Every structure is written in structure tokens, then in C-alpha cells.
């Protein structure tokens, strides 16, 4: 028998309202023992909650949500309490005393998945919606919760069933009038499907970047102004700024929002040859972070004596800034744009430029259907199977098996089939109470 679980659905701490959720076969009985007569289904009612000894716990707004028309598909209850920590703790203790079990991370949503209220892709969308920090992340998560990827997967699956019928006809009825070149008959089905799956797999990188953040690295020699620029863009003192070369030795990451997208801006150690073991490690990490970044901003100290160039080789898409134009005349920079992090017009220009870069990289007519590396790997597996099935020299039996395996890969996207370890990993990322 399924346990009845409970958990606080709101964050700990003081608040005007706190929500406690229950789900399972004993939810109705627990509600009766807390407040006596339950309210009408799906109608909020004020009730006094009491523990097993009759002591008053709170006067709360109570919702009775009988299954299967609930989030989990089970009998469920929501208690909207006064948000004091003592109130919440008292109600949770009372529920535990009734024999109910504290829910694990993601257990409510996992029950929704197991009861057919959500598929796995939609459940991942719920997790992304909880974690959403930007407008773009919110839109993408809502798209996935709404079933965009699930709908695409269902359409792909129908095409695979149609293709499978072609190959199986050649296997099951070899003496019938079936074209000798079975692959050519299946090609009008498989060819556009392969193209669509490739495009969806390629789009997962954009979806993942929307989720995790567009990465921008500040690169350059010591004292080029990287930390000063980081602080200016972050609007706070995120990094220590001194005249001593090599002050920054580790990666300092600051989250920003540009054009509605999450951006991770990183201040890195100054690039130079050094005998200092700690600083050398900082330089190595800076180079590694820069290599993985979506965009690098190279800074050259415009006030430095001599004609020393940049300590690296900027790519064609990188930005190059010659800094400290507020201190020296930089009418002719040679290597990049004259810039000062202390001049408002320069900061406005840079923020607009970066916002444009981020929008170009992550924007699109609509959010990508697939948004996780898990989705990409399964789509790539399906493409590889279908490319083999579409080969002109493959036997129909082998082609049919490849189509079946491609369908299995796509089914794992929505959790139609899948291993427990994958499910455990997905739902463990949720917070308790969801």
C-alpha cells in the first residue's frame, strides 16, 4: 500500500502564509482527525486544526482534493497556515504523530508521474520552473510543462510506427507484392524525421544554456581592469580591486540578467608567466574557464607603459577592450575599442552589446523542445539508429530492429520506458514538498 506523505511546500522561515501538502490513501482520514468535517472538494474553507490531544495548532485555509483529479493523482490535502515557523513545525509534528511519512525530494511530482498526471519531460519542466530566475527560463519551463516536447515525441513515435510497418511487411509477407527496395519506400518517412530529430538535438545546447546561463569570461593580463569591470557590471563589490598584480587568483563568478537571459560573468586570474604556484594554478583555471566560455572579453591595460600586446589570442567573435581611457588618451588603440568601466556611456554600450550577443545566441522564434543533455543523447541515439535503418543495403529485419530501438530511445525522453536510476536522479533534484 502506498504511504501517505506530507511536507511543507513553501520555503522555511517567516512568511504571511505557509503551505503544507498531504498525498496518499490516508489523506482524508488525517484531515478529519485534524479539523473534523472536511470541506467540500476543491473549495477552500477555514478550519481550526488540532493535534491528537485536542490542542489548537492554527486556524487555517483547508483544501480537500480527492484523486484522481489532483496534482499527484491521489487523495490530497493542502493546508494554508499562518507562516510562523512554530506554526508549521507544530502541524508537521501532528501529521507525523498520525503515522504519516515526511515526503522525500520530488516525491509528490514522482507520484504524479507514476499516476500518469505528468510524463518525465513535463516533470523536468516543473523542476526547471521552480528553479527559474529569468523570463527566458520561465518561458522555456512553462513550454515543457505544457507538453511541447511530449507532443513532439508523440508525433515522432507515430512516424516510427508507420516506418516500422513498412519494414515488418517485407519481413512477415515475403511472398506478397512488396517492392524489393524496401528502404526506398521507407525513405519518405525516415528522411524528414531524421532531419527533424537532428535539429531538435542541436537545439538542446541552446536550451541547456538558457537553463544554466550564458558564460562570459573576462580575460587579460594582471591589472588590466577585469575586476573593476566585473564590479561595475555587477553593481556591487564582488571582486577585490588593488594595484597589486595577481590579486585575483581564483575564478569569481557573478550571475547577471541580460535581455531576459541568465548570464554567468567570470573574473579570471591575470594571464602571465609566474613562479608562484598558487597564481600559476589560477592562470591555468582562467585559461580553462575561458576556453569553455560562450564569449571572452579581452582587456588590455591602456595605461601600461610599452607596447605589450594581449596575453592571448582573441577569437573572431571575442570582444577586445583597451581600458582606462578615463586616465590616458586612447584615440588610437590598435587592438580594440577604447573603454573605461568608470564611464557611464561605456558601460551602457557594453551592456547593450552583451545583451545583443546573448539574445542572438539564445533567442529564437520559440523555446527549444529539448532542453537537457539527457534529451540530446537520446535524440542522437535515435538518429544513429534511423540512419542505419535508412541505408539501402540493410536487411528489412535489421532495419525494423533499428526503428524499434530508435522508438525506445525516444520513449525514454518522456519516461514511457526507463530505468529506476534515471528516475531517481531526475526527481532527487526537486525540493521537498514538490
Is residue 249 situated within a structural domain? yes
Beta strand 319-323 with 295-301 is parallel
Q: 204: which residues sit within 8 A by CB, 6+ positions away? A: 368, 370, 371, 372, 373, 375, 376, 379
Contact 381, 160 (CB under 8 A): no
Please report the sign of the dihedral spanned by the C-alpha atoms of residue 396, residue 402, residue 407, residue 411. positive
Number of domains in the chain: 3
Contact 358, 214 (CB under 8 A): yes
| pLDDT at residue 307 in the model | 54
| pLDDT at residue 301 in the model | 85
Q: Which of 333, 356, 366, 344 is nearest to 216 (CA)?
A: 356
What is the CA 289 to chain-centroid distance, rounded? 20
CA 111 to CA 103: how far, in whole Å?
A: 11
- Which strand (E) or helix (H) includes residue 112? helix 107-114
CA 95 to CA 89: how far, in whole Å?
A: 10
Residue 423: all three cell numbers together: 528516475
CA 22 to CA 87: how far, in whole Å?
A: 16
Residues 185 and 269 reside in one and the same domain = no
Please report the sign of the dihedral spanned by the C-alpha atoms of residue 317, residue 323, residue 326, residue 328. negative
Residues 217 and 99 reside in one and the same domain = no
Residue 428, Cβ density class (10 Å: 0-12 exposed, 13-18 middle, ≥19 buried) = exposed
Is residue 318 situated within a structural domain? yes
Is residue 345 situated within a structural domain? yes
Residues 260 and 172 reside in one and the same domain = no
Residues 354 and 249 reside in one and the same domain = yes
CA 206 to CA 363: how far, in whole Å?
A: 8
Domain boundary among 55, 85, 117: 117
Domain ranges, residue 145? 123-210+369-428
CATH number at residue 138: 1.20.120.430
CA 142 to CA 250: how far, in whole Å?
A: 36
CA 280 to CA 37: how far, in whole Å?
A: 70
| pLDDT at residue 306 in the model | 56
Residues 283 and 386 reside in one and the same domain = no
Residue 51: all three cell numbers together: 493535534
DSSP at 250 = S
Residues 234 and 349 reside in one and the same domain = yes
- Helix axis angle, 107-114 relative to 120-131, nearest 10°? 150
Q: 336: which residues sit within 8 A by CB, 6+ positions away? A: 298, 300, 319, 320, 321, 322
Residues 306 and 225 reside in one and the same domain = yes
| pLDDT at residue 391 in the model | 84
Residues 204 and 217 reside in one and the same domain = no
| pLDDT at residue 176 in the model | 52
pLDDT tens, N- to C-terminus, the chain (434 residues): 589 999 999 988 899 999 999 999 999 999 999 999 889 999 999 999 999 999 999 999 999 999 999 999 999 999 999 999 999 999 999 999 999 999 999 999 999 999 999 999 999 999 999 999 999 999 999 999 999 999 999 999 999 998 888 887 766 555 555 455 666 778 888 999 999 999 999 999 899 999 999 999 998 888 888 888 988 898 877 655 555 554 455 788 899 999 999 999 998 877 766 666 777 777 778 888 888 899 999 988 877 765 566 777 888 888 999 888 888 777 665 677 888 888 999 999 999 999 999 999 998 777 788 999 999 999 999 999 999 988 877 788 888 899 999 999 999 999 887 667 778 878 888 888 88
Residues 255 and 185 reside in one and the same domain = no
Is residue 434 situated within a structural domain? no
Q: Hunting for cell 582562467 — which residue is that?
A: 286
Residues 105 and 136 reside in one and the same domain = no
| pLDDT at residue 431 in the model | 84
| pLDDT at residue 275 in the model | 62
CA 273 to CA 142: how far, in whole Å?
A: 48
Residues 98 and 161 reside in one and the same domain = no
Predicted structure pTM score:
0.82
Domain boundary among 101, 117, 133: 117
Contact 283, 271 (CB under 8 A): yes
- Cα 425 to Cα 23, 75, 429: the distances in Å are 22, 26, 7
Residues 335 and 278 reside in one and the same domain = yes
Domain boundary among 99, 117, 135: 117
CATH number at residue 66: 3.30.1360.120
Amino acid at each position: 500500500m502506498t504511504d501517505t506523505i506530507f511536507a511543507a511546500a513553501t520555503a522555511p522561515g517567516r512568511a504571511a502564509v505557509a503551505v503544507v501538502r498531504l498525498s496518499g490513501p490516508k489523506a482524508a482520514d488525517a484531515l478529519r482527525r485534524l479539523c473534523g468535517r472536511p470541506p467540500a472538494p476543491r473549495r477552500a474553507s477555514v478550519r481550526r486544526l488540532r493535534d491528537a490531544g485536542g490542542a489548537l495548532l492554527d486556524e487555517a485555509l483547508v483544501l480537500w482534493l480527492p484523486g484522481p483529479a489532483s496534482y499527484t493523482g491521489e487523495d490530497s490535502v493542502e493546508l494554508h497556515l499562518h507562516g510562523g515557523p512554530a506554526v508549521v513545525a507544530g502541524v508537521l509534528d501532528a501529521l507525523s504523530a498520525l503515522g504519516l511519512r515526511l515526503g522525500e525530494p520530488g516525491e509528490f511530482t514522482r507520484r504524479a508521474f507514476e499516476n500518469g498526471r505528468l510524463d518525465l519531460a513535463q516533470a523536468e519542466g516543473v523542476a526547471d520552473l521552480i528553479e527559474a530566475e529569468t523570463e527566458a527560463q520561465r518561458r522555456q519551463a512553462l513550454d515543457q510543462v505544457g507538453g511541447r516536447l511530449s507532443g513532439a515525441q508523440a508525433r515522432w513515435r507515430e512516424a516510427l510506427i508507420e516506418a516500422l510497418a513498412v519494414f515488418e511487411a517485407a519481413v512477415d509477407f515475403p511472398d506478397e507484392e512488396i517492392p524489393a527496395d524496401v528502404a526506398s519506400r521507407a525513405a519518405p518517412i525516415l528522411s524528414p524525421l531524421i532531419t527533424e530529430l537532428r535539429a531538435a538535438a542541436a537545439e538542446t545546447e541552446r536550451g541547456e544554456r538558457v537553463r544554466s546561463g550564458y558564460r562570459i569570461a573576462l580575460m587579460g593580463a594582471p591589472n588590466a581592469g577585469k575586476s573593476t569591470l566585473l564590479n561595475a557590471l555587477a553593481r556591487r563589490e564582488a571582486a577585490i580591486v588593488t594595484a597589486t598584480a595577481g590579486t585575483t587568483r581564483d575564478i569569481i563568478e557573478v550571475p547577471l540578467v541580460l535581455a531576459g537571459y541568465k548570464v554567468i560573468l567570470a573574473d579570471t586570474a591575470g594571464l602571465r608567466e609566474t613562479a608562484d604556484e598558487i597564481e600559476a594554478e589560477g592562470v591555468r583555471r582562467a585559461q580553462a574557464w575561458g576556453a569553455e566560455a560562450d564569449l571572452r572579453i579581452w582587456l588590455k591595460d591602456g595605461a601600461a607603459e610599452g607596447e605589450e600586446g594581449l596575453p592571448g589570442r582573441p577569437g573572431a567573435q571575442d570582444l577586445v577592450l583597451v581600458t582606462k581611457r578615463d586616465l590616458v588618451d586612447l584615440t588610437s588603440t590598435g587592438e580594440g575599442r577604447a573603454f573605461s568601466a568608470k564611464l557611464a556611456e561605456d558601460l551602457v554600450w557594453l551592456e547593450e552589446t552583451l545583451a545583443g550577443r546573448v539574445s542572438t545566441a539564445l533567442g529564437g522564434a520559440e523555446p527549444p523542445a529539448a532542453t537537457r543533455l539527457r534529451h540530446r543523447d537520446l535524440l542522437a541515439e535515435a538518429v544513429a539508429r534511423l540512419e542505419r535503418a535508412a541505408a539501402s543495403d540493410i536487411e528489412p529485419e535489421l532495419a525494423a530492429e533499428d526503428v524499434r530501438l530508435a522508438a525506445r530511445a525516444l520513449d525514454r525522453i518522456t519516461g514511457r520506458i526507463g530505468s529506476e536510476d534515471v528516475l531517481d536522479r531526475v526527481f532527487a533534484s526537486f525540493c521537498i514538498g514538490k
